[in-house]
Amino acid sequence: MVDLSALGRNPLRVTVFLTQIVSVGLGLAISYYAYQGYRRNDSRPMLFISVGFVLVLGIPAVLAIGFYSFGMNRMLAGVLSQTFQILGLLSILYAIRL
């Protein structure tokens, strides 16, 4: 269970948290539809776009939850998050170049 008590009653923190959730949801929805496009049309670029969006938005969100809920090392979470974002962007770039 995610510990939301760290948000406190600060409206700005709550707003940032909620917009992050919306961003992740939209990214995962795009990823899902790209995957459906891959399966329907057997289009490799759509597969790489799908994987890219999961890496850019999904994995960093999981790391953020780990950071806030389980006390993960902040520096480690940041490095891992940026690494997955770079890999995801490279995957999307590869899909565009195919």
Q: Model's pTM, two decimal places?
A: 0.75
Task: Give the CA distances from residue 76 to residues 2, 23, 49, 55, 72, in Å, rounded to whole numbers and listed in that order.
Answer: 19, 22, 26, 17, 8
User: Which residues does the chain have with pLDDT short of 70?
Assistant: 1-8
pLDDT tens digit sequence for 62-82: 887 777 777 778 888 889 999
Residue 8: what pLDDT?
Answer: 64
* CB within 8 Å of 19: residues ≥ 6 apart: none
Per the structure, how many domains does the chain have? 1
Expressed as residue numbers, the domain containing 58 is 4-97
